[in-house]
Amino acid sequence: MHIKKKKLTFLLFLIGLICISSSFYFLTKKRAPEAVITSGNMPDVGKNVKQMTAEELEKFLQEKADKNYINLEVNPNIYGQSKNKEVTLQIVNPKQNVFPISVEILDDSTNKTIAKTGAIQPTQYVENEQLLSTYEAGEYPVTFIVSIYNVMKEKKGETQIAGMLIIT
């Protein structure tokens, strides 16, 4: 009788241990949400759908990235002749840009505007500009203020470039 009692106790202990361990397992197991896929939710692949090549994907991603950056091509030296208001400069809004720009040029000694471009769209450039006043021969420090606009013609940013007006 004593052996039956020990076997019964051991059996109850083993059943309890199994119950505790299985409860612990099911309580701590992370359940993944069940995916519900039913027929008819997604249409068949369209007949005009094409797979992007690696090059096309790279170009697409680069175009997306370029929309967040602006590239400027500005020669910081402006050249002109004494008592002539027309000067030669080089301002390019490269094709990588998606934003139009405009440039205002300030004389650093007076902080006055000496020239101003209109809107320069991507792929456009300016080679010549008219000064608002004449200058004698010499070198004059200037600052290019480049304004960046969005497609709604709202000013979105500004940067400055130091330059030199060289009059001969």
**Residues paired with 145 in a beta bridge:** 104, 160
**CA dist., res. 55 & res. 19, Å (int):** 59
Which structural domains are found in the chain, ordered by start? Answer: 49-62+76-167 (2.60.40.2550)
**CA dist., res. 141 & res. 117, Å (int):** 18
> By C-alpha distance, which of 160, 93, 85 is closest to 128?
85
Q: How far is CA 96 from CA 27, 54, 58, 70, 71, in A?
A: 56, 20, 15, 8, 7
The pLDDT assigned to 150 comes to: 83
Residue 11 pLDDT greater than 80, yes or no: no
The pLDDT assigned to 66 comes to: 66
pTM listed for this prediction:
0.61
Q: Which of the residue ranges 30-34, 59-63, 86-90, 158-162 would you say has the lowest mean pLDDT? A: 30-34
Residue 1 pLDDT greater than 80, yes or no: no
